[in-house]
């Protein structure tokens, strides 16, 4: 049975399958494709599709995801461009990765691990328990080798006050006024932060503010949602401790408490890989672009704790006209998908 796969044939069918509200049909198509090409996949308890070729060491992990964001954008092809939801994030990278996985002759072991919910909670990636020597994560990098990415944390800063009649505001404590002072204090939170050489500085962005229950009452509570984009080596715990100390120093008389948003899985933390690692050099030698950071958070942060990890694939997050990935004009260029498959196969040959 032939292991040769045309990545464009696969991609056209994949983009036509909605996977924004459920991945069952897309997962079935992926498994059927693997079986048709002589590889028996398995689906674990978290919904990951796992397939391996070869045995022994070294062990290379190839990872990407089959879920997409809403709304679904139907498949369309115009000449050498494929449009539709998932065309670049991340079914284009999946098509290239699958073609390379099936086309290479492994000297050692190669495992393909395709996760079901990267766009939400990453329960699939968190569930994976694999030992490997390096990892390539498929995302739209425009064929550059991305060796670092910011992390993303989210939480709520609750400011507490005391209710009173708005006609006598001095008898209460206005939580919204306190929140205003907190917002000013947040502007200086990263004033002394050292920028990362590739990723730049971290960011802390208030994204939602809610408070008050009546138009004639001093509010006793106000909530500020914060988005944190971290850079190495900051962890979630270090961020929370630093934020608490900063507020205590700048607004000591405001009752404010930060808590991370509850979720089943760890947040995607920042990661970085040495540009001299063999996985980076192999991709570069096979035709990939220069090493650079990736501007979005990815499941690569889960794998980077285990072994050197890079992000690579066809497509772009945005172009001169605006958003591409997650946008209503999502697309990928066919020649970039084919090139990505060739680069990946060439890199795998050099690594084994």
Where in the sequence numbering do the catalytic residues fall? 118
**String of DSSP letters for 156-212:** EEEEE-B-EETTSGGGSB-HHHHHHHHHHHHTTTTTTPPPBTTTB--EEEEEEEEE-
Angstrom CA distances, 340 to 15, 138, 143, stand at 18, 10, 6
185: tokens are 């204090």
Q: Is the dihedral of CA 12, 16, 19, 23 positive or negative?
A: negative
3-state class (DSSP) for residue 330: coil
Q: Are 297 and 286 spatial neighbours (Cβ–Cβ below 8 Å)?
A: no
3-state class (DSSP) for residue 94: helix
Distance CA 161, CA 158 (A): 10
Phi-psi region of 38 (alpha: psi -120 to 50; beta: other; left: phi over 0): left
For strands 42-43 and 76-78, give the pairing: unpaired
**Helix (H) / strand (E) containing 13:** helix 7-15
């Amino acid at each position: 049975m032939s292991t040769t796969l045309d990545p464009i044939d696969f991609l056209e069918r994949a983009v036509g399958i909605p996977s924004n509200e459920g991945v069952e049909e897309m997962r079935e198509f992926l498994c059927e494709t693997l079986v048709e090409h002589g590889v028996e996949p398995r689906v674990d308890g978290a919904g990951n599709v796992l397939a391996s070729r070869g045995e022994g060491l070294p062990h290379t992990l190839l990872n990407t995801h089959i879920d997409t964001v809403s709304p679904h954008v139907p498949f369309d092809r115009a000449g050498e461009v494929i449009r539709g939801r998932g065309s670049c994030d991340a079914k284009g990278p999946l098509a290239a990765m699958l073609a390379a996985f099936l086309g290479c002759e492994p000297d050692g072991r190669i495992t393909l691990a395709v996760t079901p919910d990267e766009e939400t909670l990453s329960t699939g990636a968190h569930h994976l328990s694999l030992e490997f020597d390096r990892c390539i994560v498929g995302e739209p990098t425009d064929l550059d080798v991305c060796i670092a990415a910011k992390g993303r944390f989210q939480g709520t800063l609750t400011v507490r006050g005391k209710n009173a009649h708005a006609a006598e505001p001095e008898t209460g404590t206005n939580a919204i006024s306190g929140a205003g002072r907190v917002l000013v204090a947040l502007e200086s939170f990263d004033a002394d932060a050292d920028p990362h050489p590739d990723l730049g500085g971290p960011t802390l962005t208030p994204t939602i503010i809610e408070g008050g229950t009546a138009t004639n009452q001093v509010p006793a509570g106000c909530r500020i949602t914060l988005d944190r984009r971290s850079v190495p080596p900051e962890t979630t715990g270090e961020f929370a401790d630093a934020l608490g100390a900063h507020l205590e120093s700048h607004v000591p008389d405001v009752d404010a408490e930060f808590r991370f948003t509850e979720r089943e899985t760890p947040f995607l933390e920042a990661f970085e890989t040495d540009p001299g690692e063999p996985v980076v050099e192999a991709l570069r030698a096979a035709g990939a672009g220069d090493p650079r950071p990736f501007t979005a958070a990815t499941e690569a942060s889960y794998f980077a704790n285990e072994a050197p990890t890079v992000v690579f694939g066809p497509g772009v997050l945005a172009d001169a006209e605006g958003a591409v990935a997650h946008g209503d004009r999502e697309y990928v260029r066919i020649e970039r998908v084919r090139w990505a498959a060739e680069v990946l196969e060439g890199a795998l040959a050099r690594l084994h």
